[in-house]
A and B are shown apart, each in its own frame.
Chain A
């Protein structure tokens, strides 16, 4: 071969190799929060820098747009490589075959750095179909200033439901005697994050073991009856009384001295309450019907999943690892959202030293317990959540708390409605 031919061949090879190196790989990633997308922008840039030639195309939108959009993409076989996945939807999406089992990709990779219970939430029928990024748990918020004024001890792990009732009564104050307390002891309505922690802490269950039918057990009924009695006794307002006020603002406005809801409300509380009063968090008291076998904590995770439409699963899994591991710092998680990477969660920064509440470790303790989510396919429909929040079990319980329906009738109606949905 002449020198000229050799040079030509070498040039061609260099061109081909150069083209191959320059070829861009695009990884698509969808999530339901534009705020979260902004938070993760730095981590995404770091991933791209560590993987030359890889571009991550991020699409973020509100949840109300996200689920219809990804559902349409699932129908057309065009899901992104990586998608945000909620504990409430993961079963349905796994059953539809849209989520890849990550176990083969995880292989021998150690998961020791993650909260084990959070990782388990992404396991459906033995397959790791989603991986946790953060997790949350309902807690009992309490107004320490009000407790001090009433001469009450703060809630602790030994608190019983009777202790709770006594405190709720003592904290209900109608100073001007007009029949409407300026401060109620407690605040509750039919929302899942407000009632279900009591049910599960009493060993209660709404659905059967395989999640195919509503079978509300006695422990659940007792827990709901306890909450209804708190309202009926006037220690909590009827929900209709506070209609028009954002439910997450009732505690912060000082209208109720105790409240159970998700730990993600810590951020809202910090912003709303400021220094106007002192507050803390505690576990929801264990119920009288709970046994060591049935007593569970209620928590769930926001997760990431690699979809079965992805053609670059190794790279997709690498992105999931990157966005769930130590790359994100404590500052990337809003108050009360616990990083799935335990070292980040245990950092002083996440524990929020110098801010209220001063016992954020409590949320980590909840996550260390056996967890139960109670989610099933179509959970949002039968439970009554988000855009369906006015119906289902939520709507029926509101009828009970508003004093318009007996608990028995409400649960019968909710069961019939839920089983109709689950049977479709």
Chain B
């Protein structure tokens, strides 16, 4: 039998379709918006609570040294930067113009993923550096009131903890993020090649 005997168009259009009413769609839209708002609240409340806690410490204990204050500021800056960049990345991704040809759209997706890949590892490293500097400065005032022995132990444990995070957690986290993004980039590039 030759090609023309199979009427693909006819078969294609026989697929059962169930058109939900418009109210369902609008309910879904509301749900969408709510979910977006909720995730925004979650990260920002967390950030706000941590900052409020730190400011409370500042106010309550009245640190004398400037190093303590700088330390507090650095820690807050680190957190704001991290959340800010992360929110920004998510927004870029959500706002890609969908009215482009598939080819342009795929190229945009690849570009954004590359940017995301770079930002994530860079920002994560900066986050750790700022936090480390902040904590060390913050601790100085209190350590200076301890005996040398206890001060050394305090700093030792803190640095050990930070070292563990820097040398173990950070690379692991970056690797995990990169693997996920790389896989997607490869996939999108493959699809884009289909259009060559």
The answer to whether A binds B is: no
Report which B residues bind A (CB closer than 8 A).
Answer: none
